[in-house]
């Protein structure tokens, strides 16, 4: 197991906080690209997705071949009041969850990263594979968040 994967996973802990720094509530809720998520929706999605990922990782660690159930991210965004939640609190929770989950992952022997969970849509997922999915998840969404900031005239602070 390449332990740098855990470092890369933890490295994005504060990325959503940096992504919303200096934005007004109106900017967080704006739709500079029609038909896509607002910056706030992206941040709430990142939190919910990471909480689900942490649960999945813990199940793989603790249980034998646990079932991992898919969820509908669009339904979450539409029905969980993403537009009325606190984006800063969500970004802070994301940071804490990433750091705590990384701490757990660092305690594991290398062999634990070959443990498998059964995803109902993706099939078998190893713990290492799941960590990799979430290492890639934040940069994927941040490129959209950064573009939205630019369109709103509020580029990412240096």
Domain that holds residue 147: 4-151
Q: Is 32 exposed, middle or buried (0-12, 13-18, 19+ CB in 10 A)?
A: middle
- The 8 Å CB, 24+ separation contacts for 96-103 are 96/13, 97/47, 97/50, 97/51, 97/54, 98/9, 98/10, 98/12, 98/13, 98/50, 99/10, 99/13, 100/54, 101/9, 101/50, 101/53, 101/54, 101/57, 102/6, 102/7, 102/9, 102/10, 102/13
Residue 158 falls within a domain, yes or no? no
Q: Is the pLDDT of residue 120 over 90?
A: yes
What's the pLDDT band for 131 if we cut at 50, 70, 90? very high
Residue 58 belongs to a domain: yes
* Whole-angstrom distance, CA of residue 32 vs CA of residue 38: 8
pLDDT, mean of residues 112-134: 97
The reply to whether the predicted model has a pTM over 0.85 is yes
Please determine, for residue 158, whether its predicted confidence score (pLDDT) is greater than 90: no
Residue 21 is part of a domain; what is its CATH number? 1.20.120.450
In this predicted model, what pLDDT tens digit does every residue of 61-117 receive, in sequence order?
Answer: 999 999 999 999 999 999 999 999 999 999 999 999 999 999 999 999 999 999 999
Which pLDDT tens digit goes with each residue over 35-63? Answer: 999 999 999 999 999 999 999 999 999 99
In a domain, 41, yes or no: yes
What is the predicted pLDDT for the residue at 157?
86
Number of domains composing the chain:
1
Task: Indicate if the pLDDT at residue 1 is higher than 90.
Answer: no
Residue 121, pLDDT score: 96
Residue 157 forms part of a structural domain: no
Asked if residue 156 is part of any domain, the answer here is: no
Q: Is residue 79 part of a domain?
A: yes
């Amino acid at each position: 197991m390449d332990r740098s994967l855990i470092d890369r996973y933890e490295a994005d802990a504060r990325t959503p906080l940096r992504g919303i720094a200096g934005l007004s509530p109106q900017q967080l809720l704006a739709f500079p690209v029609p038909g896509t998520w607002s910056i706030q929706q992206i941040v709430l999605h990142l939190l919910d997705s990471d909480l689900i990922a942490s649960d999945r990782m813990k199940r793989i660690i603790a249980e034998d071949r646990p079932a991992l159930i898919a969820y509908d991210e669009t339904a979450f965004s539409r029905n969980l009041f993403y537009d009325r939640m606190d984006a800063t609190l969500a970004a802070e929770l994301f940071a804490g969850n990433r750091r705590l989950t990384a701490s757990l992952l660092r305690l594991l022997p290398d062999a634990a990263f070959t443990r498998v969970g059964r995803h109902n849509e993706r099939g078998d997922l190893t713990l290492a594979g799941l960590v990799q999915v979430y290492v890639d998840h934040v940069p994927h969404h941040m490129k959209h968040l950064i573009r939205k900031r630019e369109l709103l005239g509020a580029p990412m602070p240096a």
